[in-house]
Structure 1
Amino acid sequence: MNNFLNIHDSKIPLDKEGYLKDLQDWNEEVASELAAKEDIVLGASHWEILKLLRVFHKRHRLSPATRALISLVKRELGNHKGRSVYLMKLFRGSPARTACKLAGLPRPDNCL
């Protein structure tokens, strides 16, 4: 895997799983490029979750695993969005892992 994300003339370092090495490197353009690597085109629903994750991480200094992500989304955005099916449609595979990656956050500790 390429361990850099190339944006304009910048090489942004990624770890071996494609997560940002430095959270400060994140911005919306970086998120869009990371999403493209996952074959995801970010829409309003994605951004809502990504921004929520960044606020959560800033407050708690951790990346939520799937159950915690579902609870967070349900509490902040409502029952319809706080469901695993909804999140799986937005973020393929493990919603927590993928969403955290696109939000520029570390991989959740207890996600396989």
Structure 2
Amino acid sequence: MPELEVKGKKLVLDEDGFLQDWEQWDKDVAEALANDDRFTGSKVELTEAHWEVVNFLREFYEEKGVAPPIRQLIKEMKKRFGPEKGNQEYLYQLFPQGPAKDACRIAGLPKPTGCV
């Protein structure tokens, strides 16, 4: 299993770069995951807009116990933030490697169902 070291802590990841234990997540872990290009081939520089999505995903997961697939993510983002942020184009601009998969990975959540 791949590992990620953050501030002296070794975190276990699955083969796709997702944390094995979502409760080990914090903002430092998110930054490290965003800067780890082993799994996506690119890094994500987290902006306020990225954090909005990441925090939304964590709240969603805490409430529902599941990471949303892309269609549900778009629908729920639209409800919360309006159509300018709740659409596929906006989310792909933030997370070009796949908004549901990459955003969930950075948020420390399990891989959403339906993600390859």
Q: Out of 33-42 and 22-31, give the one that drifted further.
A: 33-42
Q: Does residue 35 of the first structure (1) align with residue 27 of the second (2)?
A: no
Residue 25 of structure 1 is matched in structure 2 by 24
| Structure 1 runs of 4+ with >4 Å offset | none
Residue 39 of structure 2 is matched in structure 1 by none
Shift of residue 93 of structure 1?
Answer: 2.0
Residue 13 of structure 2 is matched in structure 1 by 14
Structure 2 length-normalised TM: 0.92
Q: Deviations over 1:36-95 (max 9, x none)?
A: 114111010000001000010011100101000001111111110011010001012221
> What is the alpha-carbon distance in structure 2 between the residues aligned to residue 100 and residue 40 of structure 1?
13
Question: Structure 1: which 5+ runs fail to align?
Answer: none
Q: Does residue 90 of the first structure (1) align with residue 94 of the second (2)?
A: yes
Residue 70 of structure 1 is matched in structure 2 by 74
Percent identity among equivalent residues? 37
> What is the alpha-carbon distance in structure 2 between the residues aligned to residue 61 and residue 17 of structure 1?
20
> What is the alpha-carbon distance in structure 2 between the residues aligned to residue 70 and residue 3 of structure 1?
30
What CA RMSD, in Å, does the superposition of the two structures yield over aligned residues?
Answer: 1.1
Letter in 2 for 1:29: D
> What is the alpha-carbon distance in structure 2 between the residues aligned to residue 28 and residue 70 of structure 1?
23
Question: Structure 2: which 5+ runs fail to align?
Answer: 37-41
Residue 112 of structure 2 is matched in structure 1 by 108
Shift of residue 6 of structure 1?
Answer: 0.8
> What is the alpha-carbon distance in structure 1 between the residues aligned to residue 30 and residue 8 of structure 2?
17
Residue 79 of structure 1 is matched in structure 2 by 83
Letter in 1 for 2:103: A
